[in-house]
Amino acid sequence: MERTFASSSSRDLSPFPVPSSSSSLLVSSMPTRPVKIIPLQHPNSTTSSSLNPLSRDLFARWTAKIKRTTLVQWIDRFLPCSRWIRTYKWREHFQLDLMAGLTVGIMLVPQAMSYAKLAGLHPIYGLYTGFVPIFVYAIFGSSRQLAIGPVALVSLLVSNVLGGIVNSSDELYTELAILLAFMVGILECIMALLRLGWLIRFISHSVISGFTTASAIVIALSQAKYFLGYDIVRSSKIVPLIKSIISGAHKFSWPPFVMGSCILALLLVMKHLGKSRKQFRFLRAAGPLTAVVLGTLLVKIFHPSSISLVGEIPQGLPSFSIPKKFEYARSLIPTAMLITGVAILESVGIAKALAAKNGYELDSSQELFGLGLANILGSFFSAYPSTGGISGGSFSRSAVNNESGAKTGLAGVVAGIIMCCSLFFLTPLFEHIPQCALAAIVISAVMGLVDYDEAIFLWHVDKKDFVLWIITSTTTLFLGIEIGVLVGVGASLAFVIHESANPHIGNWDLLHHIICSLHNHSYELCHLLHHINYGNDIVYIFVMALFVFLFFLFELLEDQISLVALVNLINGQIVAVLGRLPGTTVYRNVEQYPEAYTYNGIVIVRIDAPIYFANTSFIKDRLREYEVDADKSSRRGPEVEKIYFVILEMSPITYIDSSAVQALKELQQEYKSRNIQICISNPNRDVLLTLTKAGVVELIGKEWYFVRVHDAVQVCLQRVLSLSQTPKKPDPFDEDKPSFFKRLSKQREEDLSIAELESGCNKTSVPKYTEPHLEPLLSRKS
């Protein structure tokens, strides 16, 4: 067995002090032999006194990036469309972009009208929202497959906040919706310029899932009035909605219920066939259009008087106008912040996944800036807030766009042209669309947001995240959207503080501490909140959210924990690239040990912190950077052009939550699409158990789990060697088998190359391991 010793940087080791009476016996009994010592690299105190290493590293990276940026890169940064315009391949891409744009455009027209009705607006404003923002985003947005436009969750938020201010039939309602789009765009641009998107990492994925699940149920119930034939109360709480539905049951009408149910069933069948069978993939996009056409034909044939229709829709493009009623901006700030958070969480996340799947880089800040400009310029042409994500509709459009083969933003331009043609020529046909058909489109879109599978998954993998899911979904259903978001974010922030400050304390101890603290300060809290004049409920909710954040901050400071240290822990140097120290099987940080070398085709990464929802996005971004910007100056082994293996050293990881598990699954799928294999080295028992329950072990493969980094490197080097060797054409004149002496000579050459590479003395030799002594972490038989 090979053994290495490490100690301080001093090579002259003095013996330990021992009593004089036994010193002679101890010296005589201990054999003297040379001890190999790896010197520890100490930081230079003169260079680190003024700035901490993290700040100095960030500043150095920032200045180096500025110096490397060329004029073309500056243009690409401000106009991301120039990247795909400059390299556009008309023969290969145009047909795919054209078909994808036509498909998404046909899907967007009926969805836009449906979501406008959900927002309490006239259907024409949904068409406006799906027109101008698409063109703006195609120019300034960095994603080439994301399809933006009106979505269900944002429409519900608009309806909920504006319904408490003014009646939806009033003209002020429409003006406030347009003003809200302008405010959302300003906030998105500010957060993009200041690069503050990382703040949203404090919200757990389980909180988002619970919130969207409850919102989907509320959205579906709010559309029931078009199926039942009578009005119900406008509310974001489930209890008033159900009471209103039951109390008005005597007004029930059969025709809209039958028509709406049949159209909804047809939509669900078409969606299922489109997802499950590739030959019927077109049905998924054709569903909304089919629902509208079928509903219009039924109305034209039977003329049912009890079915309400869309009515007259203005023809032509929207006129330019500046948003008005800025005196109401103060009451709209919380909702604008919430919609901005939705844009960051969903749109940017989906855009990153689509970019990784299609093999191009995406800047999160640039993506958010593009969304902000789309909302700002859209508000000048009567659009209400638009985004792209999983909020019922937009993610389905983005998925359809990607599946249809969209290669560039030209697909979005084509979809915008379809919307333009609809505004010019098709609005007279929209007058006879039954509203129950539009309601069926909304319900079919949000049914996919009811994520009960996620709850079952969380129950088996992480009970803490399951509790977060239940708390958020329950409070959203029964107390409303604002309270649900407040409680979910507060609980998520509490667990961030817990994992960062007290990583070895149970979750229930944290909850007990919070409850006791709230109980101890309850009198002061109630006395303070009672004497504040809020003006309206929205400002009250905003103040409550701010108070909860400050409460957790004070609790943090009371325990003498620095907030800067917390942020550094979440976003700091928690990921390091490892290299092999020459002449050893020890792998250390290449920044601390510059003499350490790496191997071509392999990236070895050590994660030095627990992985949970607050840092999963950061870790994924760093892994993508290490894959693209790999340092080739100190690389050895066979010459290959790309990375084939990513080895994750997980020994420092003490905890992993459901969000991290989901991130690993997404990373595995992303790497698999680019022919890259993940290897896991030395996870502890709890982490390995979590990965097993979540199915990550089977997804990656048991054969890719190792006890040591060196074991993983040996196996990966064998695979890289086999990939680097090109098969030679057989010589037709030499059909005899090689002689015994030739085979012996070839085997000796391979053994010599192994010895040289293992010792770290040869930079270009090709490794070939005949019998790597692996210590499997998992049984290969099981």
Q: Point out the domain boundary residue: 542, 569, 596.
A: 569
The least confident of 3-12, 134-143, 261-270, 609-618 is: 3-12
Torsion angle defined by CA atoms of residues 352, 355, 356 and 360, in that order, rounded to the nearest 10 degrees: -130
98 lies in the same domain as 116:
yes
Name the most confidently modeled range: 26-35, 492-501, 743-752.
492-501
Domain boundary among 526, 548, 569: 569
Q: Would residue 472 count as lying in a domain?
A: yes
DSSP assignment of 351-372:
HHHHHHHHT----HHHHHHHHH
Q: Which of 593, 577, 589, 578 is nearest to 38 (CA)?
A: 593
Q: Are residues 398 and 260 in the same domain?
A: yes
Residues 6+ apart with CB under 8 A from 614: 201, 202, 496, 499, 500, 570
Whether residue 320 is found in the same domain as residue 342: yes
Same-domain status, 332 and 372? yes
Residue 158 and residue 300 share a domain: yes
Beta carbons within 8 Å of 40's beta carbon, 6+ residues apart:
6, 7, 8, 9
The pTM for the full model equals 0.69
Q: Give the pLDDT confidence of 282-332 residue by residue, as tens digits.
A: 888 788 889 999 999 999 888 888 888 888 889 999 999 999 889 999 889
Domain presence at residue 556: yes
Q: Is residue 45, in this structure, part of any structural domain at all?
A: no
Domain that holds residue 521: 452-569
303 plus 445 within the same structural domain? yes
Q: Do 333 and 438 fall into the same domain?
A: yes
Query: Measured at the alpha carbon of residue 27, what is the angle toward residues 23 and 31, in degrees to the nearest 5?
Result: 165
Shared-domain flag, residues 553 and 631: no
426-449 confidence digits (pLDDT tens): 888 888 899 999 999 989 888 878
Instruction: Output the pLDDT for position 390.
Output: 55
- Specify the range with the lowest mean pLDDT, choosing from 162-176, 250-264, 279-293: 279-293
**pLDDT at residue number 521:** 46
Greater model confidence, 635 or 370: 370
Alpha carbon distances (Å) from 323 to 180, 319, 334, 423: 9, 12, 18, 22
3-state SS assignment for residue 385:
coil
Neighbours of 466 (CB within 10 A): 20
CATH number, domain with residue 630: 3.30.750.24
The 8-class DSSP code of residue 761 comes to -
Whether residues 390 and 297 share a domain: the answer is yes
Mean pLDDT for the stretch of residues 143-149:
88
Tell me, yes or no, whether 295 lies in a domain: yes
| Furthest C-alpha separation in the chain | 113
Q: Give the three-state DSSP class for 389.
A: coil
Is there a contact between 482 and 334 (Cβ–Cβ < 8 Å)?
Answer: yes
Report the C-alpha gap between 561 and 630 in whole angstroms.
35
pLDDT 10s digits, 15-42: 444 444 444 444 445 456 666 666 766 6
Identify whether residues 562 and 670 lie together within a single domain: no
Query: If we measure between CA atoms, which residue out of 778, 218, 171 comes closest to residue 484?
Result: 218
Buried b (16+ CB within 10 A) or exposed e, 414-438: bbbbbbbebbeeebeebebbbbbbb
For Cα atoms 629, 365, 329, give the angle at the middle one, nearest 5 degrees. Answer: 170
Residue 539: inside a domain, yes or no? yes
Residue 233: inside a domain, yes or no? Answer: no
Q: What pLDDT shows up at residue 727?
A: 54
Q: Are residues 540 and 612 in the same domain?
A: no
Mean per-residue pLDDT of the chain: 77
Place of tokens 């909860």: 548
**How many independent structural domains does the chain possess?**
3
Q: What is the per-residue pLDDT for 738?
A: 52
pLDDT of residue 500: 63
Instruction: Outline where 422-562 has alpha helix (H).
Output: 435-446, 452-461, 463-479, 481-501, 507-520, 522-530, 537-558
Give percent of the chain above pLDDT 70: 72
Tens of pLDDT, residues 677-717: 999 999 988 899 999 988 999 999 999 999 999 999 999 98
For every residue of 37-72, DSSP letters joined together read EEPP----TTTSSSS-HHHHHHHHHHHHHHHH--HH
Q: How far apart are CA 366 and CA 174, in angstroms?
A: 29
Specify which residues 598 forms β-bridges with. 635
Give the Cα separation of 168 and 154 in Å (integer): 16
Q: Which of 109, 208, 103, 233 is nearest to 153 (CA)?
A: 208
How far apart, in whole angstroms, are the C-alpha atoms of residue 293 and residue 295? 6
How many Cα atoms sit within 13 Å of 696 on the Cβ side? 28
CA-CA distances (angstroms) from residue 275 to 217, 269, 270, 499, 687?
Answer: 22, 10, 9, 39, 33
- Out of 229-243, 385-399, 442-456, which region has the weakest mean confidence (pLDDT)? 385-399
For residues 627 and 559, membership in a common domain is answered with: no
**Residue finishing a domain among 393, 427, 449:** 449
The pLDDT-based confidence of 501 (bands split at 50, 70, 90) is: low
Q: Is residue 8 part of a domain?
A: no
Q: What is residue 765's predicted lDDT score, i.e. its pLDDT?
A: 40
User: What is the mean predicted confidence (pLDDT) over 512-522?
Assistant: 45
Q: Is residue 249 part of a domain?
A: no
Q: How far is Cα 661 from Cα 279, in angstroms, rounded to an integer?
A: 32
